[in-house]
Amino acid sequence: MSVAKKTYRLPVSGTTVTYELERKQVKNINMRVRRDGSIHISVPSKVSSGQVEAFLREREDWLLGAMERVTQRTKSHPDLPELALGDSLPYLGSHIRLVFQPLSGTASSGRQGRFDFDREAGVLTCSLPDPSDAGWRQAGIEAFERVETRQAVIQFLDKHFPAFARRGIPYPKSIRFKRMTSRHGSCTAQNGSLNFNSRLCEYPLPFIEYVVVHELCHFLHQDHSPAFYREVAAILPDYREREKLGEQ
């Protein structure tokens, strides 16, 4: 494993970026803009510099957008480094900053916390009865992730279910969200229930859409046979690329 500093001039905008290139045991090229604005790229050991630069060219718009969000975040929350204590959370394939603060008013141990998400700045503020308590912090994060995951999943269910309804599949009787350790979702066709990992919002939207379509297709095939994947491919021809997003 080796790490080196590199610079590259983005061809469309003319912006020169400095990034940290790490060669290690990974399957794909992965890029992350850290909360301090630094850029980190991890690549398989055999990937050439030319391939890395081609990757940067293809993702120039995304990279510039991520850098701008970091700048906006700093302007909107100038006291963030002191408040957040370095906490961050994966969100839609990137990262957001976490701020934990006391719940205003008279807080009792039984009172629920609340959260406020500055989507533009990428900052989640959790107001908790005891912001120093790890249990309260975890509860705040889990509540936020359930809301965000549900929103994304329902969006894709609304988009894709009509195609299943036309084939006689009834709308799921139960759609539940819970933290899972090794699965992204599950389908029980016999009772019409779907379960989704409440942490799905940590992954990019194309992957979340793939998970929703994957589970819907189990209403047609309760296995992972070639026939099952033909159903998935008919809806998402690029499902293999989307599936890889869950490995990063």
Q: What is the pLDDT of residue 71?
A: 74
Residues 54 and 84 grouped into a single domain? no
Whether 181 and 239 share a structural domain: yes
Are residues 160 and 136 part of one domain?
no
What pLDDT sits at residue 135?
A: 83
The parent domain of residue 137 ranges over 78-144
For residue 228, the model assigns a pLDDT of: 95
CB atoms under 10 Å from CB of 53, counted, come to: 15
**What domain count does the chain have?**
3
Nearest to 61 by CA among 11, 97, 18, 5: 11
Strand residue runs (E) in the chain: 2-9, 16-23, 30-33, 39-43, 88-91, 94-102, 114-118, 123-128, 174-178, 185-188, 193-197
- Is the same domain home to 160 and 221? yes
CA distance 58 to 41: 14
Of 133, 134, 35, 145, the residue nearest 81 (C-alpha): 35
Rounded to whole angstroms, how far apart are CA atoms 137 and 127? 9
Q: Could you tell me if 91 and 141 are in contact, meaning their C-beta atoms sit under 8 angstroms apart? A: no
The whole-number pLDDT of residue 107 equals 39
Last residue of a domain, one of 52, 69, 86: 69
* pLDDT means over runs of 10, the chain (248 residues): 82 88 85 80 89 90 81 59 56 87 59 79 86 84 93 97 95 93 89 94 95 96 94 95 85
Give the per-residue pLDDT at 77: 54
Per the listing, tokens 């995951």 go with 149
Residues 235 and 218 in one domain: yes
Do 57 and 112 fall within a single domain? no
- Predicted local confidence at residue 156, as pLDDT: 97
